Amino acid sequence: MDQVATLQLESVDLQSSRNNREHHTQEMGVKRLTVRRGQLFYLRLSFSRPFQSQSDHITFVAETGPKPSELLGTRATFFLTRVRPGNVWSASDFTIDSNSLHVSLFTPANAVIGHYILKIEISQGQGHSVTYPLGTFILLFNPWSPEDDVYLPSEILLQEYVMQDYGFVYKGHERFITSWPWNYGQFEEDIIDICFEILNKSLHYLKNPAKDCSQRNDVVYVCRVMSAMINSNDDNGVLQGNWSEDYSEGVSPLEWNGSVAILRQWSARGGQPVKYGQCWVFASVMCTVMRCLGVPTRVVSNFRSAHNVDRNLTIDTYYDRNAEMLSTQKRDKIWNFHVWNECWMIRKDLPPGYNGWQVLDPTPQQTSSGLFCCGPASVKAIREGDVHLAYDTPFVYAEVNADEVIWLLRDGQAQEILAHNTSSIGKEISTKMVGSDQHQSITSSYKYPEGSPEERAVFMKASRKMLGPQRASSPFLDLLESGGLRDEPAQLQLHLARTPEWGQDLQLLLRIRRVPDSTHPQGPIGLLVRFCAQALLHGGGPRKPLWRHTVRVNLDFGKETQRPLLLPYSNYRSKLTDEKLIRVSGIAEVEETGRSMLVLKDISLEPPHLSIEVSERAEVGKALRVHVTLTNTLMVALSSCTMVLEGSGLVNGQITKDLGTLVAGHTLQIQLDLYPTKAGPRQLQVLISSNEVKEIKGYKDIFVTAAGAP
């Protein structure tokens, strides 16, 4: 009997184009094989002769990480079989076509994600084996697979939370929510490599690389590591936070248009943190990274967000008798808004019922297990007050549920409670609406309606768990029970007389109505109302007063009066912070009793608007004329204007143009051509910044047709 020639591998076709399309990774390109776990992919192996299944033995080997090990789950060996054997590594369903072997490979839905090397070992009978490299592939989480912990059973939601490469961040104030366009760009060619580079720079990897890689099958672990690595407080993470408003050594957080430039800069500089980020930048970069890895992710804004360091579920703020909001040395604060992420996953580490959206917060506020990271915390657990469940649920619960106590300070001592607000924190929790540019309130996912019996019951339940049985409620209850809060003899309200515009005087209206109270059920009262206006920082803290005013009112029982107030532009022109938010505070002193009442109004000022138009149909590879128009509506010139354009599939990287000075009242018109590189829905983001206004933003949704499409 003739000796059969040795089987030798001559070529491999990884079929990247077909596989990437079927695994929803074609947007990353088709030069490399990028697949998702728990799903078949296909190879064609060409040999020196026809494959004979009786005598030729092929063993496949897949390896990832620095020290691949079957014990750790970072190495798999599997044989060629006719039928796929379940949720394990396998090569099956093969067909022989002349000298070619077509084979289906399957990766289990709980496999470690990462860069893999694929090899085969060929042997005949009892003879020695020869190893051939087949190539490399990248393995990602698979939200399309029912077996994967990130499975999301809705194609519409998958398109929004995995495939959409642009979106919006919601900023500002609960009553003046502004939408900021953001280029996530998770499918730009090098972003997937940078995502794994971030994981490989983590303290967990540096301490024990093999163990860290072995845990990358667990989405809870990967999310937690990423939330620590997006900030740079413990490690060479991606972004350095800066809330000082001095950004001279880097880029202002307001001037980023998207994540791609940040991630590329971090990688190009060898993992040096990028300067600078604030919460919306941290969360948007985290969204890019997690969507890229295959985890459904969205960006969420919480307006009036508590940072409750001592976990007592109360935040104290202080005013003096002149209505000036006082800075405090306490670390507790109320952010005007705070931005975090939600990632979708099954929580096998928790009791049943806590699957779905989980909060992850990469902004460095507080340490968790020794590192600046936060989450995943189940949104369901937050709503139900189950603050004992991992991870960091008490911290997130306080962010949306803490009570605010406002004190009047006299001679450095807190002497009087001006207000106890049980519903002023955790307002208008918002995310982008699916398939729309509008924002959607998801507050009801985080808590029951404010003031409802369920909401207060959950608050008491969480209080008992967080404060212990001795202090089963908030520390100011003693004062409340001793009559610290009494009914007031008048109601005060501040209204805007007209829509506030940056560059214009601000007109307000004070309304006072005399009502019965236990001290003065009848008769007139005299009020001395002192007003103070201050610019607010992002962390909720005040700048020094920029305007003061005093009003004296005598009010008969049952009567109402109005007083106009004018805050001139000259007072706030050079005093605004990045937030463009002014708090007008008024403290009314009742002359008969010496007691005080508080009235507040926050005013949000928007920068000028720019418009973006495109003149024709967008097609891949063809010039697309873009028109950008900006009118300077301020009373001062905008100097040293620069424009930055960005948009995945429309612009390669960024386009920057110097525009010079834009005189007050004048209009700037810019035309330029783009050459789209990808078909489908795209978004162009435009930023114009100047010395006077750092962020004038706009966007245009553009649908790009394939080259040559009818």
Catalytic residues: 279, 338, 361
Spatial contact of 502 and 568, defined as CB atoms under 8 Å apart: no
Q: What kind and span of H or E run contains 146?
A: none
Residue labelled with tokens 């006077």: 692
Going by C-beta distance under 8 Å and a sequence separation of 6 or more, which residues neighbour residue 292?
186, 187, 191, 192, 195
Residue 10 gets the label, from left (phi > 0), alpha (psi -120 to 50) or beta, of alpha
| 663 HSE (CA, 13 A, CB side) | 1
Q: Give dist(CA 115, CA 62) in Å, integer.
A: 10
- DSSP SS3 for 393: helix
Residue 591 gets the label, from left (phi > 0), alpha (psi -120 to 50) or beta, of alpha
Spatial contact of 33 and 16, defined as CB atoms under 8 Å apart: yes
Spatial contact of 363 and 231, defined as CB atoms under 8 Å apart: yes
Q: Give dist(CA 532, CA 585) in Å, integer.
A: 5
- φ, ψ at 376 (rounded to 5°): -75, 135
One-character DSSP codes across 614-634:
E-S-EETTS-EEEEEEEE--S
Which residue, 672, 662, 673, 674, is CA-closest to 630?
662
Q: Cα dist. 612→342, 667, 700 in Å?
A: 31, 13, 6
Q: What kind and span of H or E run contains 286?
A: helix 279-293
Which residue, 190, 58, 71, 73, is CA-closest to 134?
58
Helix residue spans in 535-637 (DSSP H): 569-572
Spatial contact of 288 and 185, defined as CB atoms under 8 Å apart: yes
Helix residue spans in 344-452 (DSSP H): 379-384, 393-401, 443-446
Residue 138 CA from chain centroid, whole number: 25
Residues paired with residue 704 on neighbouring β-strands, in sequence order? 618, 680
Residues paired with residue 610 on neighbouring β-strands, in sequence order? 630
403 among annotated binding-site residues: yes
The CB density around residue 53, as the number of other CB atoms within 10 Å, is 12
Going by C-beta distance under 8 Å and a sequence separation of 6 or more, which residues neighbour residue 83?
92, 93
Q: Give dist(CA 600, CA 145) in Å, integer.
A: 51
Which DSSP symbol is given to 369? T
- DSSP SS3 for 284: helix
Q: Give dist(CA 499, CA 77) in Å, integer.
A: 68
Residue 142 CA from chain centroid, whole number: 21
Q: What kind and span of H or E run contains 281?
A: helix 279-293
Residue labelled with tokens 């299944």: 53
Residue 271 gets the label, from left (phi > 0), alpha (psi -120 to 50) or beta, of left
> What's the sign of the alpha-carbon dihedral 36, 38, 44, 49?
positive
- DSSP SS3 for 246: coil
Residue labelled with tokens 């979106």: 167
| 177 HSE (CA, 13 A, CB side) | 23
455 among annotated binding-site residues: yes
Spatial contact of 88 and 108, defined as CB atoms under 8 Å apart: yes
Going by C-beta distance under 8 Å and a sequence separation of 6 or more, which residues neighbour residue 685?
166, 181, 182, 183, 257, 258, 645, 646, 647, 697, 698, 699
Binding-site annotation, residues for Ca(2+): 401, 403, 450, 455
Binding-site annotation, residues: 401, 403, 450, 455
